[in-house]
Amino acid sequence: MSEKLGCYIFTQNHGMKTIVLISAVLLSFFTFGQNNPLEEKMYKDLCNEFKQKTEKADTIVLQEAYEKVVMPYLDKWPEEKRDSVGYSISIRMQKECPEFKQLLDRINPMDSEEIRFFDKLQKSVISDKELQEFKDEKYFYYLFNNEPTYLIIDNGLWFEFFEDRTYSKNLMQWDDRNKFTLTFVESNNLEKKAYSREGDQYHYEIISKENDWYWIQMAETGGSRFVHFRIYILVKDGADE
């Protein structure tokens, strides 16, 4: 649930184009090697471009960073790999670089009804009864761009099922009364696989319940902002009959 609705894909042949993440994307996927010095330097240099103070428009900053950092990096790859490598960069950068993600939020704002941003950690007001109701449930979903992602939370596992029939698997561990950690295990979803590596951990807190949804809080990388997003209880047909 950490990815944006839309991002810019860095490609050698097509420049940058806006895409919707929750979709069936027919791209071959390349997984970067862990602890690759060349890759790590590229991420650092690219993030530094977005940390610079400037009066330029965000789209200009993005284009210039692409030309200065990403294009030379893509030149090192075989041509048939460049689109998939560039796509992976755009996803991974949302995790590695808060400034990049914030720039994307300005260019392509997310649905404010489904997700909110705060500068400070918000205090949880979830009651014991509401929290227990969450823990007693098994089936949920959340919305990105009006597209549902379905959740199954069961036996210490957190499964996500996407509209393109891919999935993501995480270990779920309760750390406190209303706080839990997800540890990424595996996924065949293009965006999830690009964003996370096995063993990556994400920390969440259940903040409140409104109507048939819960507000979940997480800190962005670097702790510069806190994100709240909705998780809905999946009501089965005939459940209320």
pLDDT at 167 exceeding the cut of 90: yes
Rounded (5°) CA angle 62-35-185: 90
138 near 125, Cβ under 8 Å?
no
**CA separation, residue 57 to residues 53, 60, 74, 106, 213 (Å):** 11, 5, 24, 10, 37
For 79-93, 134-148, 167-181, which range has the lowest pLDDT when averaged over its residues? 79-93
pLDDT at 8 exceeding the cut of 60: no
Residue percentage of the chain with pLDDT more than 90:
37
What would the two tokens of residue 206 be? Answer: 């259940």
**CA separation, residue 167 to residues 116, 160, 179, 196 (Å):** 25, 5, 24, 13
**CA separation, residue 151 to residues 82, 169, 178, 186, 235 (Å):** 33, 10, 18, 15, 12
Q: What stretch of H or E contains 51?
A: helix 37-51
**CA separation, residue 140 to residues 69, 153, 173, 231 (Å):** 40, 8, 17, 7
* pLDDT for res 237: 61
Say how far apart CA 87 and CA 106 lie, in whole Å.
Answer: 20
Q: What is the pLDDT of residues 80-108, one digit of tens each?
A: 888 878 877 887 887 788 888 888 878 87
pLDDT, greater one: 74 or 240: 74
> Within 10 A of 33 (CB to CB), how many other CB atoms are there?
7
Q: Enter the pTM of the model.
A: 0.66
Q: What is the pLDDT of residues 203-232, one digit of tens each?
A: 999 999 998 899 999 987 666 788 899 999
> CATH for 115-233, among 1.10.260.40, 3.40.50.2300, 3.40.50.300, 2.40.128.20?
2.40.128.20
Q: What is the pLDDT of residues 14-71, one digit of tens each?
A: 344 333 332 222 222 233 444 578 888 888 899 999 988 888 888 888 888 888 998 8
Q: If you write DSSP's letter for every residue of 18-42 in order, what string do you get? A: EEESSS-------PPPTT-HHHHHH
Per-domain residue ranges of the chain: 6-107, 115-233
What would the two tokens of residue 42 be? Answer: 């590229």
160 near 188, Cβ under 8 Å?
no
